[in-house]
Structure formats: C-alpha cells, structure tokens
Amino acid sequence: MIGPTLSRPRLVRAATTQLADALCARGRPVAGATDLLIHGLDTATPELVDLTAMSDARPPVEQLSGGVTRVSATAPISAIARAPVPIPAALAQAIAQFASPQIRNRATLGGNIANASPAADLVPPLVVTDAVLGLRSADGARSVPISDVLAGPGRTTLRAGEWIDYVDLHPVEHSGFRKLGYRRALAIAVVSLAWSWSATGTRLRDVRLAAGAVAPTVVRCPHAEAALTELTPAVVATAATAIHQDIAPIDDLRAHAWYRRDALSGLVRELAAPTEEQTGTQLSERNTTAS
Ligand SMILES: Cc1cc2nc3c(=O)[nH]c(=O)nc-3n(C[C@H](O)[C@H](O)[C@H](O)COP(=O)(O)OP(=O)(O)OC[C@H]3O[C@@H](n4cnc5c(N)ncnc54)[C@H](O)[C@@H]3O)c2cc1C
C-alpha cells in the first residue's frame, strides 16, 4: 500500500424538509459549502446532507403577524437581499458587505450561524433584532433565541441531528451594521457592530448594540447601550468608551486586542457622524453643494 486510504463523506441530497430531518440524524448538514470547504471535510462524517434542494423549502423571506420577519436559513443570502419582502436594515447592510457576489450566491444564514465564528457578519444583525431560530430534527421542532445558540468559537448548542430551518427577526425602528476589514470586499471583519433602537425626538430607546470579532462569540454591549441615550457627539463618545467594558478582544493574525478596542470605539463614534459611505453622499456631490 502506498499511502493511507482516505474515505470521503457521501453527499446525499434532502429532497424534502422531512427527509432532511431523517438524514441529519446520521449525517452533517451542508448548504453553500463555503465554510465547510475552507475547514476541510471531516472524514469521521459518513454523510453530508445537502439542504439546498428541498422541494418544500420556505421562501427566502416571509412577513409574519406582529411585524416579525421570517428568513430562510437555507436560501442563498443573495436571494434574501433580493426578496420582495423587506428585511431589517442591519441585515441588508451586513449582506451587502459580505464576501463577494459569488459567495453571496452560495452562502446561507444557517451556515453563518452554525459555523459560530465570532467574526460572522450576519450574526450581529440577528442579535440586535432579538432573533429566534427555528430548529428541526427527527425528534421534532423547537425555537431558541440566537444568544442561547452561540457557545464559543466554532461551538453552538445545536443538538445532534438538528438543523436550522429559519430565523425570526423582531421588528426594530432603526438598525444598521458596519464592519471594518482590510479591504472593501472578501474581507473578514477585524471588528463589526450592529445597532438597533427606537427614537422619540432626539432621545433613543430600546438601544441594542452587538459587536463581532471582539469576544469568543458575538456579544451584546450593555454598558455602551446604557450610555447611548442620544446621538450627540458627547454622548456617543461616552458610549464609545463604555463599550470597552463589554468586550474581551484577543491578539490574532488580523489585529492586536488594543487595535480592536480602538477600532470598535471608532465604529461607535461614527454613529454620531456617519461616514460618506454610510450616508451614500459622494465627495463630488458635497463639493458641488459647497461650491
Ligand atoms: C471567499 C470567502 C469569503 C467569505 N467571506 C465572508 C464574509 O465576508 N463574512 C462572513 O461572515 N463569512 C464569510 N465567509 C464564510 C462563509 O461564506 C459564511 O460563514 C457562510 O454564511 C457559510 O454558509 P454556507 O451555507 O456556505 O455554510 P456551509 O459551508 O454549508 O456550512 C458551514 C457549517 O454550518 C453547518 N450548517 C450549514 N447549514 C446549516 C443549517 N441550516 N443548520 C445547521 N447547520 C448548518 C455545516 O454543517 C457546517 O458546519 C467567506 C467564505 C469564503 C470561502
């Protein structure tokens, strides 16, 4: 024998959601395969269960009663962005800043959640919209808040055989997402921030902030949320300092911990003074107006 024999997992296609429940009891779910291919195929997994061709798959986005938006966890995220039903701005902006058009045509919300990267772009928008995941398995269905599913880098609390079917997003008045990467496309976040709030005049209520790539999981930022009562530069500067109490960044190949702390403060400060990119204002337009 020249070398070890490699056994490759078999790819089985779930033709319906019910078949997916049965197949996931013994195999590992796969959707766009954009993460699975990076991390390599686990030869201990006998079967991969393809979730992308189920005949009874739900539409990419549905509007439910109470303003809840139900988003498919197995549809490509480009289909979610194109859907006729609107999605919260934070999620739309995160999809727009995600990878490249080719990856967005394959990658799914379910894969982004189950991959459990602290830098996953789509997770902060789910945290600030109090998202609830719809999970399925051969044992039945259950609903779990997103914050109960994220356990650490690469770890979730999903049970064996469970797969993510949909994500319910609760209505928010204002929301947004911004990430800092080393280039504009195909960049993993050095830090990211999603926000949501309601406003009465200049006063903010129900402020939610979620930061990515600054702790073992995406985290809510209670100290910064309490400080962010309005969007004046002074108040926002206080929140930008308070957010340091909410995070535990590490040094890694993309950035030092101190850089991440300062960069996240910068993203918070931009809430008071949106960049041209955020407002969509081109420099040339401003020059024209000014002249
Ligand atoms: C070039 C490139 C650029 C990228 N850029 C970004 C980026 O900008 N931002 C970002 O956040 N990520 C990025 N990624 C990572 C990846 O694209 C995302 O995490 C994507 O959302 C994964 O979705 P998927 O459907 O491809 O998951 P898959 O690769 O199919 O699966 C990933 C993991 O999730 C599990 N899984 C998949 N679907 C389900 C489900 N429905 N239920 C339960 N478990 C499931 C799989 O078993 C596997 O463990 C990039 C990847 C590549 C290759």
Co-location of 222 and 253 in the same domain: yes
Same domain, 161 and 182: no
Q: Given its phi and psi angles, is residue 268 left (phi above 0), alpha (psi -120 to 50 degrees) or beta?
A: alpha
Ligand 1: residue of 103, 137, 155, 191 to mutate (most ligand atoms within 8 A of CB) is 103
Same domain as 197, residue 106: no
Planar angle of CA 48, 188, 264, nearest 5 degrees: 135
**What pLDDT sits at residue 286?**
33
Q: Tell me what pLDDT residue 267 has.
A: 97
**Among 2-6, 12-16, 25-29, 83-87, the least confident range:** 2-6
Within a domain: residue 56? no
Q: Number of H helices and number of E strands within the chain? A: 13, 14
Number of domains in the chain: 3
Task: Report the predicted TM-score, pTM, of the whole model to 2 decimal places.
Answer: 0.93
Domain-located, residue 246: yes
Choose the residue to mutate in 34, 47, 51, 121 for probing ligand 1, maximizing ligand atoms within 8 Å of C-beta. Answer: 34
Lowest mean pLDDT among 57-61, 139-143, 186-190: 186-190
At 222-245, the pLDDT tens digits run: 999 999 999 999 999 999 999 999
187 and 147 together in one domain: no
pLDDT digits (tens, 9 = 90+) for 93-151: 999 999 999 999 999 999 999 999 999 999 999 999 999 999 999 999 999 999 999 99
CA distance 182 to 23: 40
In a domain, 215, yes or no: yes
Residue 206 has pLDDT above 80, yes or no: yes
- Percent of the chain beyond pLDDT 70? 91
107 lines ligand 1 (CB under 6 A): yes
Supply the range of the domain harboring residue 184.
Answer: 174-273
**Concatenated DSSP letters of 146-158:** HHHHEEETTEE-P
- Domain end (from 169, 189, 223): 169
